[in-house]
Structure 1
């Protein structure tokens, strides 16, 4: 299990490379949800999401031989961007494998950063190709199944705990579980009374299915939210979620897209559906615990185009 000492060490390691993102109360979201809301704006992080933290920590931890071999990562978008940009900043050669469903913006940014980007038909194929590339000698930087990466993602929770006012419940999106594992570990140590809730979208339910099964299991992916679409949780992230997460909530893709529009209108931030899904989940939490709740939202990323959001809104019949 990742401890606060691991997270503090990661914070020291990556501090000069990443942004301490703002933690701010949101009057607009508080009015919308009927409870006090504080946001951690990780969408303002370097590379547009929290993924820069874990990628940087892992790259800095590599031996000279592993660096020289070149690094490889599988990604639904944000991890690939984070790895490509940070590898470029550190002078390392990077390969990023993404499914064709990944946002075009992610492909463009990773390519512009100097990475070799390879596309596969789906996320399962992306993970398989990365295994082959790792076997050929490239150094894997896993998006979530790595204690170095999880500890670095935990710096989000450390900062939130240090910078926020009173919180009763914190909501964190889940793909493979690296972010929630790290954030939950940090909050468990620094804000032990706070409940941590995970949020997934329908068709990207790796952690909720793992919790039901008693361990990681393969899942069928169908969500439009590629940045949450992990084919399975890892044993590492599952164990943290099982021990430290109050519950994992699952929301429809439509509600995640509506959350993007609500965040733009009421919080004045541009987020991706992986963050937008927190709003419908927050409504569920408030219904359960009451409007005296003080809600924290980790807005994990903002790497989505206006064209994508308008297209999804049209498909789901949402006004824009």
Structure 2
């Protein structure tokens, strides 16, 4: 049996938060009357879509960049990304005058590719996410420093600053929902909340076809998965031992929702919370309904609204694909989406 990876501690997260202070935004933590009415229980949202580069990814990328030696800065950095991590690394590396190479699959949002290129990064495209991970490993072998999106304790500690702020700024919480791609965000948030809000349950959320963490939990460790979700920002080909061990130790359960419900969640967040999100955040709403059904009316939910890097064209295309433009149930309250669809 593989030994448990040492978990990130609150001192690691506090150190990372101090390192990145002044480079990233302390995003708002706000009660949401609209979402509270929609879900029937109090809801507080941590608005990471207002972070620099439009997602929480700026935190971990900045923590890693600020830790580099002069030799590592001179050689440059590389990252693999389905979109948001690539944007974050490109923009933050430019701000810190570090040369960056970003590897993305061709399925990555065109907007993400454009922003990374506009920031001055060298963007390399591959056919699949698996090929992207393989290419970035070769770049590391050539001397670039890998800024991994989730398999790096410093990156995870940087993402954990989200949980540090949430714990400090939120009122009473019983359950916090966090989206999962490779697991860096939930690992950091869970570590922070475990230390500062030990009674709070943490729930992970994936989309069907991007189930790297739930399949790892079933298998007893990280495994490669087939990717078919439209949610490229959650589509890691596997989680890491680091993130898996955090989720196994600190997370109540990982919930899986269909792509259609993740897109519906985006529409509901726009209508009821006035938030323009991407499906990686939209998936939280159908999962929140599951949590409320299980926990009951005493639930006090926290949602980490992880990012908002979707275009109007993206949202229109997804809405058409899933028939949501004509679906009057979107935004219709607690009844939106049957239990069978959401579970």
TM alignment of 1:81-96, pairs within 5 A: 81-96=87-102
Q: Which residue in 2 is equivalent to 1:190? A: 196
Q: Which residue in 2 is equivalent to 1:55? A: 61
Q: Which residue in 2 is equivalent to 1:10? A: 16
Q: TM (normalized to structure 2)?
A: 0.93
Aligned match of 1:159 in 149, 157, 165? 165
Q: Which residue in 1 is equivalent to 2:334? A: none
Name stretches of at least 5 consecutive residues in structure 1 with no aligned partner.
Answer: none
Following superposition, the deviation at residue 67 of structure 1 comes to 1.1
Aligned match of 2:311 in 290, 298, 305? 305
Aligned match of 2:234 in 228, 235, 259? 228
- Paired with 2:220 and 2:73, the residues of 1 have a C-alpha distance of 36
Aligned-partner SS, 1:95: strand
Following superposition, the deviation at residue 138 of structure 1 comes to 1.2
Task: State yes or no: 1:40 paired with 2:42.
Answer: no
Q: Which residue in 2 is equivalent to 1:180? A: 186
Aligned-partner SS, 1:117: strand
Q: Which residue in 1 is equivalent to 2:81? A: 75
Deviations 1:225-262 (A, max 9, x none): 00000000000000000000000000000000000100
Name stretches of at least 5 consecutive residues in structure 2 with no aligned partner.
Answer: 1-6, 327-343
Q: Which residue in 1 is equivalent to 2:333? A: none
Following superposition, the deviation at residue 292 of structure 1 comes to 1.6
- Paired with 1:48 and 1:185, the residues of 2 have a C-alpha distance of 23
Following superposition, the deviation at residue 63 of structure 1 comes to 1.1
Aligned match of 2:281 in 275, 279, 302? 275
Aligned match of 2:151 in 123, 145, 151? 145
- Paired with 1:228 and 1:286, the residues of 2 have a C-alpha distance of 23
Deviations 1:9-50 (A, max 9, x none): 011000010000000000000111111100000000000000
Q: Which residue in 1 is equivalent to 2:37? A: 31
Q: Which residue in 2 is equivalent to 1:292? A: 298
- Paired with 1:308 and 1:291, the residues of 2 have a C-alpha distance of 35
- Paired with 2:316 and 2:260, the residues of 1 have a C-alpha distance of 12
Q: Which residue in 1 is equivalent to 2:253? A: 247
- Paired with 1:309 and 1:134, the residues of 2 have a C-alpha distance of 35
Q: Which residue in 1 is equivalent to 2:27? A: 21
Q: TM (normalized to structure 1)?
A: 0.99
Superposition CA RMSD, Å: 0.6
Aligned match of 1:101 in 80, 103, 107? 107
Following superposition, the deviation at residue 283 of structure 1 comes to 0.2
Q: Which residue in 1 is equivalent to 2:134? A: 128
- Paired with 1:134 and 1:12, the residues of 2 have a C-alpha distance of 28
- Paired with 2:266 and 2:160, the residues of 1 have a C-alpha distance of 24
Q: Where has structure 1 moved over 2 Å in runs of 4 or more?
A: none
